[in-house]
A and B are shown apart, each in its own frame.
Chain A
Amino acid sequence: MASELINKYMRPEHLPHIWCPGCGNGILMRNVAQAIDNLGLDHDKVVIVSGIGCSSRAAGYMDFNTIHTTHGRAIAFATGIKLANPELEVIVIAGDGDISAIGGNHLIHAARRNIGITVVVFNNNIYGMTGGQYSPTTPRGEKGTTAPYGNIDRSFDIAGLAYGAGASFAARGSSYHVQQTTAYIQQGILHKGFSIIDCASVCPTYYGRKNKKGSAVDMMKYQRDNAVMQEKAVQMSAEELKGKLVIGVLAHTNYPEFTAEYQKLIDRLGREAEEREREGK
């Protein structure tokens, strides 16, 4: 018994999912399904690739061509799939640790190549599956099981990191902002180059409990009350933006896409070889 959307795009026999009560990942996974539905994409032309972690369970629940790969390497697998068949819509679902720590190198180089895949990050600021260790996106001062006195490192801004590395579309959504996040995922899928949608999830079990953030509802309300749209954020000072969650399309540029460039290279070399043959060399 489930809604039309869930029956159409998920595998109901594998539901309910293993995520904790109030986990934002379920909401974000539905947003991905909703975005695909809104775009009317062909089921068989969509590939969902995931790595390891809580978020990466999504590949098991979504009813598309899916692949659950090794830790941090989702983008590497996705690059191969996209290059083998550029017609496919390749969507990577990964967690913050998976994409920015274990798979950090894959992220920056796929962004630099500007390969036309869409990366949806379920960013819950912690390693949930392994028991709440601090991740690269755990804010400074916040606690994790491996940072009992507070994390002393600065946190990554994943959307900013990917954009800095060359991604041509970077957006940020949240589990509270369902409509907006779905729209950003849609734009990311339509975008020709590398697109990243950094989605703030909620982890009430580990991140919330360790840092006394309250229940899942409290964490969702925090997202609602502290979110600032990108259009507004550009007019605000750094001080005003402290502790705020900036959502919206943060960067959108046009740059030649990798698989198209690769095809151009193949075509050019083919033409040159033909010419050489004609000239009898």
Chain B
Amino acid sequence: MAQKKLILNAAWCKGCGICEAFCPKQVLALQGEKITIAKPEDCIFCGQCEQRCPDYAIYIEEEIEEVNQWVKPY
């Protein structure tokens, strides 16, 4: 299984609060002028924040595990 991770690039965040408002699980919280990942364990990796972040500061990264498997199609 691919491992998904929610990544925040705080240097690009301008604190508009759009990701916080549209997160269905209230994972994100605005602290001062920057967003923080308050409850990372609740994240369902829906990508709503990544889609609507105007500054590309938050995104989901997928670590693809190496699977060495040969599937015979015949």
Chain A residues proximal to chain B, CB less than 8 Å: 1-4, 6, 10, 15-17, 19-27, 30, 175-176, 178-179, 204, 215-217, 220-221
Find out whether the CB atom of A16 lies under 8 angstroms from the CB atom of B14.
Answer: yes
Say yes or no: A176-B56 contact (C-beta < 8 A), given A216-B17, A216-B18, A220-B22: no
- The smallest beta-carbon distance between B47 and chain A, in angstroms, is 9
Chain B residues proximal to chain A, CB less than 8 Å: 7, 9, 11-12, 14-18, 20-22, 50-57, 59-61
- Please give, as numbers and ranges, the residues of chain B lying within 8 Å of A216 by CB-CB distance: 16-18, 54
- Please give, as numbers and ranges, the residues of chain B lying within 8 Å of A22 by CB-CB distance: 14, 16-18, 54
- Please give, as numbers and ranges, the residues of chain B lying within 8 Å of A20 by CB-CB distance: 14
Cα(A1)–Cα(B12), bound, Å: 9
Cα(A98)–Cα(B53), bound, Å: 25
Closest to A217 in B: B21
Find out whether the CB atom of A2 lies under 8 angstroms from the CB atom of B9.
Answer: yes
Find out whether the CB atom of B50 lies under 8 angstroms from the CB atom of A23.
Answer: no
15 contacting pairs across A/B (C-beta < 8 A): A1-B7, A1-B11, A2-B59, A6-B59, A16-B11, A16-B56, A21-B54, A21-B55, A22-B14, A22-B54, A23-B54, A27-B52, A27-B53, A178-B52, A216-B17
Contact of B54 among A6, A19, A215, A221 (CB under 8 A): A19
Supplied contacts A22-B16, A25-B54, A178-B52, 18 more A-B pairs, CB within 8 Å: A1-B7, A1-B11, A2-B9, A2-B56, A3-B7, A3-B60, A16-B12, A16-B55, A17-B55, A21-B55, A22-B18, A22-B54, A26-B53, A27-B52, A30-B51, A217-B16, A217-B20, A220-B18
Closest to B19 in A: A217
- Please give, as numbers and ranges, the residues of chain B lying within 8 Å of A30 by CB-CB distance: 51, 56
Say yes or no: A21-B50 contact (C-beta < 8 A), given A2-B59, A217-B21: no
- Please give, as numbers and ranges, the residues of chain B lying within 8 Å of A27 by CB-CB distance: 51-54
- The smallest beta-carbon distance between B39 and chain A, in angstroms, is 19
- Please give, as numbers and ranges, the residues of chain B lying within 8 Å of A4 by CB-CB distance: 61
Find out whether the CB atom of B14 lies under 8 angstroms from the CB atom of A21.
Answer: yes
Find out whether the CB atom of A217 lies under 8 angstroms from the CB atom of B17.
Answer: yes
Find out whether the CB atom of A3 lies under 8 angstroms from the CB atom of B61.
Answer: yes
Find out whether the CB atom of A24 lies under 8 angstroms from the CB atom of B9.
Answer: no
- Please give, as numbers and ranges, the residues of chain B lying within 8 Å of A15 by CB-CB distance: 12, 55-56
Cα(A24)–Cα(B18), bound, Å: 10
Cα(A199)–Cα(B7), bound, Å: 28
Contact of A24 among B15, B20, B51, B54 (CB under 8 A): B54
Closest to B9 in A: A1
- The smallest beta-carbon distance between A123 and chain B, in angstroms, is 15
- The smallest beta-carbon distance between B45 and chain A, in angstroms, is 13
**8 tightest A-B CB contacts, nearest first:** A26-B54, A22-B16, A3-B59, A21-B14, A21-B16, A217-B21, A16-B12, A178-B51
